Structure 1
Amino acid sequence: MNNTTNPIGLFDSGVGGTSIWKEIHNLLPNENTIYLADSRNAPYGMRPKEEIVELSCKNTEFLLEQNCKMIVVACNTATTNAIKELRAKYDVPFIGIEPAIKPAASFTKTQTIGILATKGTLNSELFHKAVLNYKDIKIVEQVGHGLVKLIEEGSLESAEMKELLETYLEPMIKANIDYLVLGCSHYPYLIPQIKKILPQSVKIIDSGEAVAKQTKNVLIYQDILNTSSQRGYTTFYTNSNPAVLTNILENKYEVEEKDF
């Protein structure tokens, strides 16, 4: 099996998966990590399944070349469309992320929850199978057209972002949701803006913490947990302008631009 000090690899269609990376890094600070932002091809959400699988394989192979012992698919669209193919093709543990419907459906009092996600996630077979488990719950689905693009451009607090969020969230408020599930790893960066629009009674759920816990569980099960007492290193790569990723990371980390 791979050396326990080998890094965990994470990839996303851009900067959004850093929300997953942060949760993993907080829970497992001694693990070495490599983060790959495929921003040149963002967003994945509007691409056909075959293309998402192809891009996911390309990202995985890059990370395996860096001797990663595990791959975290830090992208809802890539997980729901490609993780089955990735697990079949590569002999390495994969961690995926899916919209956290289960906790929202379990705790809702109004029996109505909202989910904001990409078209690729909402149209995926994996998502449709997950929804079938909650036939007694009304799920208000909304494709977040344009949100990932604005985040990738660094326009988090733009007037256009505010307008889009209001358009997407108003029908959910009218439907009386009490939980909003964020079904894209980019969207946790929108929580401050979302909170300004939603009533205080609506709780927001994303997958980050659950993914971090699952990552730790699989590392232990596979006997590849890094038991070193040294704090882990992190390397960030992007195939686009590094400025947005650097900004999302609050200028605390160097980002290397790489053609992949």
Structure 2
Amino acid sequence: MGGLTVLKELQQQLPNESFLYFGDTANVPYGTRSQAEILGFVRQILCWMTSQPIKMAIMACNTSSALALDEVRAEFDIPILGIILPGARAAVKQGKRIGVIATPATVASESYPQAIQEVNTTAKVFQEACPEFVPLIEHNRIREPETLQIVHQHLHPLLQQGIDTLVYGCTHYPHLSGVIRQVLPSHVKTVDPAVYITTAAKQELKLLQLQNGHAAQTTRFFVSGCPEQFAELSYQWLGFLPVVEKVILPELASPQSIEAVEQI
């Protein structure tokens, strides 16, 4: 569900482009997995995507951007954009005491502190791992009272540090923005990296002269898990019930993967 926050921004800012959306629902959440596992998943997904084909890949996941981006950029001959650097640059423009909420894997990678301090060495960065957030969203528990308590628990240490800016260091987390704003003081600004990776994609397409000169096609949705479950849960954010196709992820890296796509 996390990548839907990025897809929404892409569709708004790049209305002439066509999108292929892949959600690795069979292996979510990534945030508690090892780097080797995540790299393997990303390689398989990109092998399948490039067979479609695609002209650019946008890694709409902070964890995979932190742990796999450099490796797959060296292995694939299409532009691949990660979400962390655009988010870090935006955060530095917003404040000087920056809180980052992210998955345990993204926090452990130190990717956000490194990216933020590369832009501004004087910025202070405070991180908080929030392993419960993704399962709460994926299981449609956003509006439960317990969710507000969990969000408060994780934001409290950052507020104790006097943050003036909060970065959504996971693409799922904007789905919790209504709950998060209940906990944040009004003066604390939020940064959704989805907005800024979209701007970066727009600039990259123009620079590489890859802009679409024809009418955009309907977005196609693919998942590695249950298509019906994804369609039903995504309705509240997409505003319509998408047609979702299933891909068998373990076979994605093989030439036979194209035949593994099953229309649901």
CA distance in 2, matches of 1:197, 1:128: 23
- Report SS of the residue matched to 1:40: coil
- Please tell me whether the aligned partners of residues 130 and 154 of structure 2 are also in contact (alpha carbons under 8 angstroms): yes
> Match for 1:122 among 107, 121, 143?
107
- Please tell me whether the aligned partners of residues 246 and 254 of structure 1 are also in contact (alpha carbons under 8 angstroms): no
- Please tell me whether the aligned partners of residues 169 and 197 of structure 1 are also in contact (alpha carbons under 8 angstroms): yes
Superposed CA offset, 1:191-213 (max 9, x none): 11111111111111111121111
CA distance in 2, matches of 1:235, 1:194: 31
- Please tell me whether the aligned partners of residues 114 and 139 of structure 1 are also in contact (alpha carbons under 8 angstroms): yes
Shift in Å, 1:33: 0.5
CA distance in 2, matches of 1:125, 1:191: 23
- Please tell me whether the aligned partners of residues 87 and 94 of structure 1 are also in contact (alpha carbons under 8 angstroms): yes
- Please tell me whether the aligned partners of residues 29 and 232 of structure 1 are also in contact (alpha carbons under 8 angstroms): no
Partner of 1:42: 28
> Match for 2:3 among 2, 17, 28?
17
Percent identity between matched residues is 30
Q: CA RMSD in A?
A: 1.8
Residues 175-186 of structure 1: matches in 2 within 5 Å? 175-186=161-172
- Please tell me whether the aligned partners of residues 180 and 205 of structure 1 are also in contact (alpha carbons under 8 angstroms): yes
Superposed CA offset, 1:31-69 (max 9, x none): 111000001101111111111100101111121121111
CA distance in 2, matches of 1:158, 1:251: 23
How many matched pairs? 243
Shift in Å, 1:77: 0.5
Compare the two structures and name the one with the higher helix fraction.
2
Name which of structure 1's ranges 168-177 and 243-252 shifts more when overlaid on structure 2.
243-252
Distance 1:171 1:53, change over 3 A: same
CA distance in 2, matches of 1:235, 1:251: 13
Partner of 1:250: 239
Unaligned residue ranges in structure 2 (runs of 5+): 250-264
Superposed CA offset, 1:63-90 (max 9, x none): 1121111111110110111011111111
CA distance in 2, matches of 1:212, 1:131: 19
Superposed CA offset, 1:131-180 (max 9, x none): 54344333221001111111111212222321210101122222221111
**Which amino acid letter does the alignment assign opposite residue 239 of structure 2?**
E
- Report SS of the residue matched to 1:36: strand
Superposed CA offset, 1:67-118 (max 9, x none): 111111110110111011111111111111016233333332xx42211011
| TM-score (normalised: structure 1) | 0.87
Shift in Å, 1:20: 0.6
- Please tell me whether the aligned partners of residues 112 and 177 of structure 1 are also in contact (alpha carbons under 8 angstroms): yes
CA distance in 2, matches of 1:69, 1:17: 18
> Match for 1:160 among 146, 154, 173?
146
